[in-house]
Copies of this chain bind each other. A is one copy, B any other.
Amino acid sequence: MPVTIRDVARQARVSVSTVSRAISAPDLVRADTRERVLEVVRGLGYQPNPAARSLITGRTGNLGIVVPDLGNPFFPSVLLGVQARARESGNSVFFCDSGQDAVTEEELIRTMARQVDGVVVCASALDDETLAELSTLTTMVLVNRALPGVPSVLMDSATGMAAVVEHLAALGHRHCAYLNGPVRAWSNQFRRTGLREAACRSGVSLYELGPYEPTFQGGARGVDAALAAGVTAIIAYNDLMALGVLTRLAELAVAVPERISVTGFDDILYAAMCGRPLTTVTMPAELAGRAAVELLLDRLDNADGPAESTIRELPTTLVIRSTTAPPAGPARL
């Protein structure tokens, strides 16, 4: 039987409204009264019932985050950032993993919408229309996805990919394969754009393969096609795939980076920890999480504000490690 505001009021010999004020609007209460009340609050270990509070204020004090795959270390990092910023602002956070499935994702967002003040949707698999509709249900912020009218945090992956291509071109590569991630994913489209333009500019011919699952398995699967295309470098959609590529290449006894170069994207922790540290692009995942919550809180505070489509773009940077080197000889023998 938890202690209620009435218990506090009785023991402090004031009315419940005074207790309420002492807690949520301290300057509306005379200093000594306030002290007396807070004393009792501490003594009894009173904590307001969030449900009751939420019922009247309309705010839950909860935020939600939906990610496609917690198994990809990129997303736990985003979660970390979200939690950090949420806690600073006195919010709790719900999480959901959609398993990269659009139907599940929609369902999860609908369910969350009722219980949170706002939700951060990462790398959504939903089409613009559905997403737009869902965004009317609750305050929404997108990560790695853009949609008119919905604030979003973008990581500049086009530039990151361009850096990859330029790096490869500078090393002398002329024939590169790109292992596509989910084609419908905003991230993939954007990465591909950066890729194509840079390839064009630097005279690199690009072999687009896939789409593949953005996982270790997916990467492994793409290797044979890439090899068949006779490229000297494989550009993976993300690190997980790149790791799969590396493993498959090792099985086939293809030397990296001597015979073939490999690049990833995201810079997950394990990219650096693996036998052969991966050349990849750093994504500020945790920062993105924080930024997303920031945007959410902004929206929440001035709900009446214009529905301007705020976009926070975060920079990415190429990290050159051990999986890229000049090609062994002419691209095609």
Measured CB to CB, the residues of A under 8 A from B are: 47, 49-52, 54-55, 60, 62, 70-71, 73, 75-77, 79-80, 83, 92-97, 111-112, 114-115, 216, 243-244, 246-247, 250, 269-270, 273-276
Contact = CB atoms under 8 A, between A and B. Distances in A.
Contacts of A114: 47, 49-50
Given A50-B115, A93-B95, A94-B95, 6 more contacts: A49-B55, A51-B60, A80-B97, A243-B273, A247-B273, A275-B275
Nearest to A90: B111
A237 B55 CA distance: 47
A114 B2 CA distance: 10
Contacts of A62: 94, 115
A95 B115 contact: no
A58 to B, nearest CB: 9
Contacts of A70: 76-77, 79-80
A21 to B, nearest CB: 20
Smallest CB-CB A-B distances: 4 pairs: A275-B275, A270-B270, A51-B54, A70-B76
Most buried by B among A75, A97, A115, A273: A273
Most buried by B among A62, A111, A246, A274: A274
Contacts of A83: 95-97
B94 A216 contact: no
A49 B244 CA distance: 45
22 contacts: A50-B114, A51-B51, A51-B55, A51-B60, A62-B115, A70-B77, A70-B80, A71-B80, A73-B76, A75-B76, A80-B97, A83-B95, A83-B96, A93-B94, A93-B95, A243-B270, A247-B273, A250-B275, A274-B274, A274-B275, A275-B275, A275-B276
A164 to B, nearest CB: 21
A198 to B, nearest CB: 28
Contacts of A77: 70-71
A216 B273 contact: yes
B92 A92 contact: no
Contacts of A92: 94, 96, 111-112, 115
B270 A273 contact: yes
Contacts of A71: 73, 76-77, 80, 269
Nearest to A53: B51
Contacts of A54: 51
Nearest to A83: B97
A54 to B, nearest CB: 4
Nearest to A73: B73
Nearest to A60: B51
A73 B71 CA distance: 7
Most buried by B among A49, A62, A93, A270: A270
